[in-house]
Amino acid sequence: MTQMFSSRGPTHQPRHDGVNTAAHRGDPYRDAAKLSGPAVCPDCQASYHQGRWTWDPAGAGATPHRCPACERSRDGLPAGVLTLSGVFLAGHCEEIMRLVNNTEARIRAERPLERLIAIDTGGSGAGGAADMAGGPLELSFTGTHITRAVGKAIEAAYGGSLEAPYSDEGTVLRSRWHRD
C-alpha cells in the first residue's frame, strides 16, 4: 500500500519550485488541485473559489474539475486510516458506527475535503456484524484532520486507547483505537 502510494505520488506532486508548500500542507492531492479559476467537482458538487473548496453552489463559469477528496476516493488512496479493534467493538459496533457517521457528517459539512472513504472489515468476507466480532475494522479517510477527529470522538465516548502518531508529509496517517 505504501509503495503503491509512492509510485503514484509523482503525478500529484506540486510544482512550486523553491516554494515548498507540500511541506506545509502535507497533502500532494490538495496542492496538485490548485486551480486558476472557479471549478465544480462533477462527482460531489463541491465548488472551488479563490483557493478553497466549499459546499457553496458553484458560480456561473465554473469548470468541471474533480476535487481532491473524490480523487483520493477513486484512487483508493486514503490520507488517513483509523483501525478499530478489541472485543468491546463487537458488542458496540452499531453505536460506534453511528458516532463515526455523525462525526464524519459534521466535519465534512465544515471541511468538504475531509471525508470517510470506506469501512473495511478486514477482508473476512460478506461484512455485517458477525464479521466484526473481534476483527479489526479499518476506516479510511481523505484527510488527516478527520482521521484524528473520529478517533478522538470514539475515545471520548468509549475510553480505550487511541494512538494517532504524527505522519510525515505525503504518507498515510495510521491511527489505532483499541478497547478490550
Q: Which residues bind Zn ion (CB under 5 A)?
A: 41, 43-44, 46, 67, 70
Q: Which is nearer to Zn ion, 68 or 80 (CB)?
A: 68
Q: Which is nearer to Zn ion, 108 or 176 (CB)?
A: 108
Q: Rounded to whole angstroms, how far apart are CA atoms 13 and 84?
A: 31
Name the minimum Å distance from CB 99 to Zn ion. 25
Name the minimum Å distance from CB 144 to Zn ion. 18
Name the minimum Å distance from CB 111 to Zn ion. 13
Q: Which is nearer to Zn ion, 46 or 89 (CB)?
A: 46
Q: Where in 37-172 does DSSP place strands (E)?
A: 39-40, 47-49, 52-54, 63-64, 80-85, 116-120, 137-141, 161-163
Name the minimum Å distance from CB 11 to Zn ion. 18
Q: Rounded to whole angstroms, how far apart are CA atoms 125 and 172?
A: 25
Q: Rounded to whole angstroms, how far apart are CA atoms 140 and 84?
A: 11
Rg of the chain on CA atoms, in Å? 17
Q: Rounded to whole angstroms, how far apart are CA atoms 106 and 161?
A: 23
Q: Which is nearer to Zn ion, 43 or 155 (CB)?
A: 43
